[in-house]
Every structure is written in C-alpha cells, then in structure tokens.
C-alpha cells in the first residue's frame, strides 16, 4: 500500500519520518520509493539544484527512480508552492504529478508521498495539498510537530483530513521542542483527542523511537493491500 504523509505545519518532521519509513521497508525486504511532488527551497550546486528533503528521500529509497518522478517540481524560493512557482515563472500541473506517481507506483511495492507544508497549503490558487492527496487517492498519516500550540494545529488538521474523506492510517507525535513544558500531558491530550492510532512518539534526536514509529507504519503498508480506488 502507498501513503501520503502530511504534517501539522512546516518543520513538523515529515521528511524525517518519511525517510525512516522507507528504510523500515528496506529492512523488511520491500521495494520502496519516496516521492516529494513539490519542493520549495533549493540551492544551486555544481551538481545542479539541491533540496535537502528530496535528497533524504532519494537516499532512503530501496528502488531508484528518475529525479523528475521523485520530485516533479523544485523551486528555489522557500515559500508556499503557488508563490514559489510564480517567482520562478512556472505553473504547477497536477497531471504531471499524477503521472509521475503512477510511474513510481509501477516500480515499487510502497510509495511514500510527502506533502509540502501542511494539509491546506495551496499548490496552485485553485488546488490545495488536500486536493493533491485526493487526486492520488492515498490514505493519510499526519506527523504532529510537538511544540507549543501543536494541540490546536493537530486537531484542526485531523478535522480537515476527516472532512476530505481520505482514509486515515494514524498519526505520529514528533517531539521537535524537547523542553516543552508539560510534554507528557500534551502527548496524552493528543492521544485522547485525535482519531487513533498513534503510530508512535518520536523523541528528540532518538533513532530508536523513530525506527519503532516508522516500523509500525511500514508493517501496515506491507500487510494491507491498497484498496483505495482512483478517481
């Protein structure tokens, strides 16, 4: 089964978790590709334009795919996709992303598609990240960046995902602010108020907890066939 990884906001840890899921699939002998349909924020290097998120997904994948399929759209400006595209004089075509996804899905048993920013970030002025996940007909996992204010962000995002009708596989609590006051109470509130399951709590710079959470999702993706119908 393939999956769409979204987050409560920018910097929630989507790439960190997505790459770990790819590695977990590899440890289980499963061919997996990571896809970042749109990446905003790139720098020019002697080898060409570079984005850290795309590089991390490419390095963690167990199946290779062309750069144009892994990352159809790459922009220099670190901004919302529609703004970054405007700055580059480009237009984002969701058909291009859809075709790239289909090619990735034809090569790998698992495709981990990482969104950009949060669930309601504009891809174009008419299309949101939520619409992109719907176009690809993928179930969703939400990465909660556990920091001050995350409960509100998480509940709003979960409610929006539910309203979209996309299948929900669970959430990951990624502690990005380790000194957050009342951290145990925050985590308990997320578990109580979010639709489960919690796939895991990822502690700050802790590879063991990251591996457990990623492994929990990898087992779901491997065990369950993808029954989501394309539209």
Q: Would you please indicate which residues are annotated as catalytic (active-site) residues?
A: 36
How far is 174 from 187, CA to CA, in rounded Å?
Answer: 10
How far is 159 from 129, CA to CA, in rounded Å?
Answer: 15
> Among candidates 69, 50, 70, which has minimal Cα distance to 60?
70
39: helix, coil or strand? strand
How far is 70 from 169, CA to CA, in rounded Å?
Answer: 23
Strand pairing report for 73-75 and 3-7: unpaired
Listing DSSP states for 75-95 in one string gives ESS-S-HHHHHHHHT----HH
């Amino acid at each position: 089964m393939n999956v769409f990884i979204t987050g409560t906001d920018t910097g929630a840890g989507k790439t960190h978790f997505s790459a770990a899921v790819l590695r977990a699939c590899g440890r289980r002998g499963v061919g997996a590709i990571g896809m970042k349909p749109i990446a905003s924020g790139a720098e020019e290097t002697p080898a060409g334009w570079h984005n850290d998120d795309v590089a991390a997904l490419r390095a963690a994948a167990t199946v290779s795919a062309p750069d144009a399929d892994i990352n159809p759209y790459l922009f220099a400006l670190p901004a919302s996709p529609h703004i970054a595209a405007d700055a580059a004089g480009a237009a984002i075509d969701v058909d291009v992303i859809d075709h790239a996804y289909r090619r990735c899905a034809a090569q790998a048993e698992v495709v981990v598609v990482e969104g950009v920013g949060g669930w309601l970030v504009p891809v174009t002025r008419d299309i949101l990240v939520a619409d992109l996940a719907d176009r690809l007909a993928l179930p969703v996992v939400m990465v909660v960046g556990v920091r001050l204010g995350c409960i509100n962000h998480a509940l709003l995002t979960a409610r929006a995902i539910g309203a979209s009708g996309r299948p929900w596989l669970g959430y990951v609590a990624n502690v990005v602010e380790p000194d957050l006051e009342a951290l145990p109470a925050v985590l308990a509130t997320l578990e109580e108020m979010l639709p489960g399951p919690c796939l895991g709590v990822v502690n700050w710079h802790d590879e063991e907890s990251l591996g457990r959470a990623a492994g929990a999702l990898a087992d779901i993706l491997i065990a369950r066939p993808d029954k989501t119908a394309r539209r």
